[in-house]
Amino acid sequence: MWEAIKRWFDPAEARAVGETPDYRFSLANERTFLAWLRTALALVGGGLAAAQFLPPLPMGHLREVIAIALLLLGGIVAVRAVDHWARTERAIRLGAELPASRFPAVLALTVGAGALLLVVAVLVRAVGAG
């Protein structure tokens, strides 16, 4: 595990294996990393917005739970992004198969479930107010 984390911070380590790839592949890998990082930042921004702007919701501390869940998910996505970037860069240099990942599907299902829970919270609040 520590070796994998070390690779995140050591560009010489990435260049020490395999052959120099066509730069377009490395740049595409970097663009994918940046897209994941934008997703992480959006989740963190959503968490901060939930903490600051959502009114108190029924069911206890639901607002805080939503905010913390979004903040944690944003952090997880950021860490996952750098790990995937490093593993993909290494695979490209070695001419190996790119690493498979279930993370996009897990993230999509998590966001979808979170959205469904928010719909339920809004409906409960609307019924309670009406």
pLDDT at 32 over 90: yes
Least confident span in 24-28, 58-62, 70-74, 81-85: 58-62
Helices (H), the chain: 2-9, 11-15, 23-53, 62-94, 103-129
Q: What is the pLDDT of residue 58?
A: 66
pLDDT at 38 over 90: yes
The amino acid that residue 106 corresponds to is V
Look at the chain and report how many structural domains it folds into.
1
pTM strictly above 0.75: yes
Question: Closest Cα partner for 108 from 79, 77, 64?
Answer: 77
pLDDT at 33 over 90: yes
Least confident span in 28-37, 70-79, 111-120: 111-120
Write out pLDDT tens, residues 43-66.
Answer: 999 999 988 988 777 667 888 888
Q: Under 8 Å CB-to-CB from 15, ≥6 apart: which residues?
A: 93
Q: What is the pLDDT of residue 130?
A: 64
Across the range 116-123, mean pLDDT stands at 80
pLDDT at 114 over 90: no
Six token digits for residue 104: 């996009």
Q: Is the dihedral of CA 110, 41, 74, 71 positive or negative?
A: negative
Distances (CA, A) of 69 to 2, 32, 74: 26, 24, 9
Write out pLDDT tens, residues 85-101.
Answer: 989 998 999 999 999 99
* Percent of the chain residues topping a pLDDT of 90: 48
Six token digits for residue 2: 């520590």
Q: Which domain holds residue 78?
A: 2-129
